Amino acid sequence: MSTCGALTSVSSAFFGEKPGAAAEAGALSCISSGAASATVTAASRLRALGYDPDELLQHYRDHGYIILDGLLASDTSSPLHLDSLRRLADTATQITRDGKWPHRRIVGNAFPPFTQNNRDSWGVQHIMNPQLDTAASASAASISSVFQQFYASSPLLDVASLLIGCQVEAMQMELFNLLVNPASHRFALGWHRDDIRPDVSEQEEEQRLETPTYGVQFNTALWDDDCLFIVPGTHRRMRTAAEVVANNAKAPPAVQVDSEGEVDKTFGEDGAWNGVDPPNTMRVRLKPGQTAFYSQRILHRASYLPTAKRATLHGCYGDASSGTGAAERARNVLQHGVEWMRDAQFGDSLPPVLKPMRTVFLAQVSTLSRTSAPLATLLCTTTFPFLKASAKMSQCPLGFTGTPPPGHPKVAGLDAKASEADTRDRHWNPWLLLAIDALFILAAIYVARNGVPRAIADPIANVWRKVPKPAAKTE
């Protein structure tokens, strides 16, 4: 549902270049206060900064992405200046590589849960979490609070609002992470859409395309970044045959790069994935300070090299004005382990504009937990005793991913608080567990119809007769 107004008059076109006014910390603090906020739309704020919202929106709708300058502060003393953000990103990266910050994207794992046993990382997760400062022993300028300020800043938030078609006040807080180059591995993500599986039928793909994405994601590069590849326009149309093939192609495994001059034949010099990239593949080349907003539904992939320094702020926002959309997005976000967001310290630390965005997100999470808890608890409890005996699965076989609902047994890989050592290499075999569940259900049906078989009931009754009765019990 679109609640953005003031998009009809086209002022001076401004796309992809730096406007005169740059982002400043706390620029959006006015949004949450007063009646004026209701009429000041993202579009008009963007226009005032020299952007052309109509042009931005049109490009985004047609192609599924836009690239913008001017989202960082131009004032060198601002914490949101490129130099400051680079310093903080370096610290966050270092503590992650040193093992002091466990929330990371692990080389070898494209998607959550990030449970691979690999010391190397391609991302620092949850950079707005105040615990990051504790891990970094940061005293003066807190790292998490600067990242919070960026996530709350204008024009970033206004552009997101414009593209989602939802007032800032009705947006939900989602993920904010830092994507970094692995320290010693080449690693790649295959072609994917975040919210449509590669193996969907044509009919299902068509249906999925009719549903809005209810959100947008962004990459803000702090260094030159050419890791992301997209096929413009694929966020709103059926895939071609070549795109279906690319979407289903398995990305090469992560490779430790220890010999200089080693030739990688999978990818060309220009980064092309030989024999797989479909026509119209576009490499997104960001200069430091540039931001790409893109639809999570666009067909995209990424390639990471240990030799190409990367520190790119990677986040997303959702539209909470529609119940179904917000719930759908919250379900996806849950996979990343977000229960830390419930922490009151985090809530208190946020800039004013983010507080309601967090509240609406947590409300979605609670609703999801309430609706999925009973079934997940019943089914997963029956399988839990067998977990340790099984191997090779990194998530609940019932498809329950992300933050477990209340009552769900503690399970490696589902609990973001579980230590990495706990989750490492402990996997479930889905087929074994489903077979055990099926046997359990068949046995229950048999007992309900026929009673407990004598061969089982008699020995139990004998043991019971031998147990002395409590002395104090009187009838």
Closest-by-Cβ residue to ligand AKG is 302
Specify the DSSP class assigned to residue 267: B
**Contacts of residue 256, Cβ cutoff 8 Å, sequence gap at least 6:** 184, 185
Q: Does 305 bind ligand AKG (CB under 6 A)?
A: no
Binding mask 257-276 for ligand AKG (x = CB under 6 A): --------------------
Report the distance separating Cα 413 and Cα 357, nearest Å: 27
The CB-of-189 to ligand AKG minimum distance in angstroms stands at 5
Instruction: Single out the residue of 127, 251, 302, 354 in contact with ligand AKG (rule: CB under 6 A).
Output: 302
The closest alpha carbon to 317, from 208, 161, 150, belongs to 161
Q: Does 189 bind ligand AKG (CB under 6 A)?
A: yes
Query: Residues for the chain: how many in total?
Result: 475
Token pair belonging to 69: 């300058």
Q: Which of residues 110-139 bind ligand AKG (CB under 6 A)?
A: none
Q: Does 226 bind ligand AKG (CB under 6 A)?
A: no
Q: Of 142 and 401, which has the nearer Cβ to ligand AKG?
A: 401
The CB-of-445 to ligand AKG minimum distance in angstroms stands at 43
**Contacts of residue 449, Cβ cutoff 8 Å, sequence gap at least 6:** none
The CB-of-196 to ligand AKG minimum distance in angstroms stands at 12
Q: Does 219 bind ligand AKG (CB under 6 A)?
A: yes
The CB-of-341 to ligand AKG minimum distance in angstroms stands at 19
Instruction: Single out the residue of 81, 297, 300, 329 in contact with ligand AKG (rule: CB under 6 A).
Output: 300
Count of residues of this chain found to bind ligand AKG when the rule CB under 6 A is applied: 8
Q: Which of residues 228-257 bind ligand AKG (CB under 6 A)?
A: 228
Helix (H, G, I), strand (E, B) or coil at 124: strand
The CB-of-300 to ligand AKG minimum distance in angstroms stands at 5
Instruction: Single out the residue of 42, 135, 179, 365 in contact with ligand AKG (rule: CB under 6 A).
Output: 179
Q: Which residues are bridge partners to 219 per DSSP? A: 292, 314
Report the distance separating Cα 313 and Cα 101, nearest Å: 17
Token pair belonging to 284: 């997104």
The CB-of-329 to ligand AKG minimum distance in angstroms stands at 14
Report the distance separating Cα 98 and Cα 331, nearest Å: 31
Q: Does 194 bind ligand AKG (CB under 6 A)?
A: yes
Q: Of 46 and 72, which has the nearer Cβ to ligand AKG?
A: 72
The closest alpha carbon to 388, from 430, 351, 354, 428, belongs to 428
Q: Does 109 bind ligand AKG (CB under 6 A)?
A: no
Instruction: Sort residue 34 into left (φ over 0), alpha (ψ -120 to 50) or beta.
Output: left
Q: Of 170 and 228, which has the nearer Cβ to ligand AKG?
A: 228
DSSP 56-120: HHHHHHHHSEEEES--SBSSTTSTTBHHHHHHHHHHHHHHHHTTS---EEETT-SSSS-----S-
The CB-of-236 to ligand AKG minimum distance in angstroms stands at 18
The closest alpha carbon to 178, from 117, 134, 221, belongs to 221
Q: Of 52 and 174, which has the nearer Cβ to ligand AKG?
A: 174
Interface residue list for ligand AKG (CB under 6 A): 179, 189, 194, 219, 227-228, 300, 302
